[in-house]
Chains A and B, each alone.
Chain A
Amino acid sequence: MKKIEVIQNILEANETIASRNQQLLDKHKVFAVNIMSSPGAGKTSLILQTLARLKGKLNVAVIEGDVASTVDAEKVQREAKAVVQINTRNMPESCSLIAAMIESALKNMPLNNIDLILIENVGNLICPSEFALGEHKRIVVSSLPEGDDKPIKYPLIFIDAHAVIINKMDLLPYVDFDIAAFRRSITGLNPKAEIFEVSCRTGEGIERWCSSILEQVEAKVVRRQKSDS
């Protein structure tokens, strides 16, 4: 019997593909956002609102990840520059998008004509936190009916997020959700996370979120143009 030292990250294969995806996106000056949440928190609604507000300002494409169906892809089809639906049901990971799925999706997208890709991950607060996709920003959507304890119950996904969006703010009078406690939990885990309070139903707060995305996409493109010259 012989012992071989290995010390190799089991997720390395995914991370290698993720960084290859990011290089491809960077080459085409495309900014990618990975949108994660539990089922029903409002990922698709946020995407629809974002598409409507950014229309005429950015060319936005969408990658829809779902275990099954094309319901979400159909909803966003009209406003998006390109839509790719990924169904994870028969794939090695059915509960999350992984970098290899994004790699194939990118092959079917006109990257030269796209500024921003919104990636809607599978609704799940556990698995997507483990898999990098090659995105530039990771955001978590949390909605009031889910309760204010989600960051405490599912810390990993919040720890790695660049921004947290609190959706369904219009329901505040009807649910017991302590906004201050939720914000304290997020800031404790992840002091750098930006927090947005929105309602995709009424449009409240969407303007601020879209300005922030627009600013980040433009900053990235300008910065790259400068470094190219």
Chain B
Amino acid sequence: MHELGITENIVNIALAKAGEAQASKVAQINLVIGEMSGFVPDCIQFYFDSLSKDTIAEGAVLHFESVPTQLRCRDCDTIFRPQDAVWPCPKCGGQSVEIFKGRELYIESLEVE
């Protein structure tokens, strides 16, 4: 739903970095997206194809690395994967948790020619 603005940022960052490296073509953009971040890869790809037209990033492959959600129990520090929608700590049953991984949203690297 809100992927258009995000994709504009991806195209802008990729073009700026490729420009700095004096590249003539962006072949691949490697993205890291946390499972909880709420962004849909297919949707980013759809916008990317249209936004990158007539730029050196046109036709670039978007590679998504998805980071699974991991939580940390505030009581005993256990790090665990949440099961379904309930999040108690599997070790101590604690209900106070924070997100340890899964909110990532960044460009890791570019492959250019």
Interface residues of A (CB under 8 A from B): 1-14, 92-96, 98, 126-127, 129-131, 149, 152-153, 155-156, 159, 184, 187-189, 191
Main secondary structure of the interface of A (DSSP, over half): mixed
The closest CB in chain B to the CB of A191 belongs to B96
B90-103 vs A, CB cutoff 8 Å, 1 = contact: the mask equals 00000111110001
Chain B positions within 8 Å of A95 at CB level: 1-2
Interface size on B, residues (CB 8 A): 38
B78 adjacent to chain A (CB < 8 Å)? no
- Name the residue on A nearest B89 (C-beta): A188
What are 12 A-B pairs with beta-carbon distances under 8 A? A3-B109, A3-B110, A4-B18, A8-B106, A9-B105, A10-B106, A11-B9, A130-B2, A155-B36, A155-B99, A159-B99, A188-B96
Q: Is the CB of A6 within 8 A of B108?
A: yes
Whether the pair A10, B108 counts as a contact (CB closer than 8 A) is no
* Residue ID in chain B nearest A188 by CB atoms: B95
User: Do the beta carbons of B5 and A8 come within 8 Å of each other?
Assistant: no
Q: B14 — nearest CB in chain A belongs to which residue?
A: A6
Q: Which residues of A contact B87 (CB under 8 A)?
A: 152, 188
Closest to A98 in B: B5
